[in-house]
């Protein structure tokens, strides 16, 4: 099993919403979609990507997503 970050992205900033375990990004996406997507408010997005290194944020509160990683998204617009 691999670990995946689940980041809640809002207009103002991003925050870590949790870490989940899944075999791959597709399974992680499905788990978040089934268990967490109903908690999204209008304009929020979940970013899901593999947890291979410590999470870091920019000065403005935005998460730094490693450029070589696949990212799955779930949003409520």
Reading the chain (77 residues) residue by residue, the pLDDT tens digits are: 999 999 999 999 999 999 999 999 999 999 999 999 899 999 999 999 999 889 999 999 999 998 888 999 999 87
Q: Which residue has the tokens 């979940």?
A: 46
How many angstroms separate the CA atoms of 53 and 14, rounded?
17
Q: For residues 65 and 71, what is the distance between their CA atoms, to the nearest angstrom? A: 8
Contacts of 3 (CB under 8 A, 6+ apart): 19, 20, 21, 50, 51
Specify the pLDDT at position 68: 83
Which pLDDT does position 76 carry in this prediction?
Answer: 86
Please tell me the predicted confidence (pLDDT) of residue 46: 96
Distance between CA atoms of residues 44 and 77, nearest Å: 7
CA–CA distance, 30 with 25 (Å, rounded to integer): 9
């Amino acid at each position: 099993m691999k670990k995946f970050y689940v980041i809640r992205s809002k207009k103002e900033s991003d925050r870590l919403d949790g870490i989940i375990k899944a075999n791959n990004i597709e399974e992680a996406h499905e788990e978040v979609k089934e268990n967490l997507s109903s908690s999204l408010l209008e304009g929020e997005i979940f970013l899901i990507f593999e947890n291979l290194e410590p999470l870091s944020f920019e000065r403005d509160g935005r998460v730094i997503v490693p450029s070589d990683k696949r990212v799955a998204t779930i949003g409520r617009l």
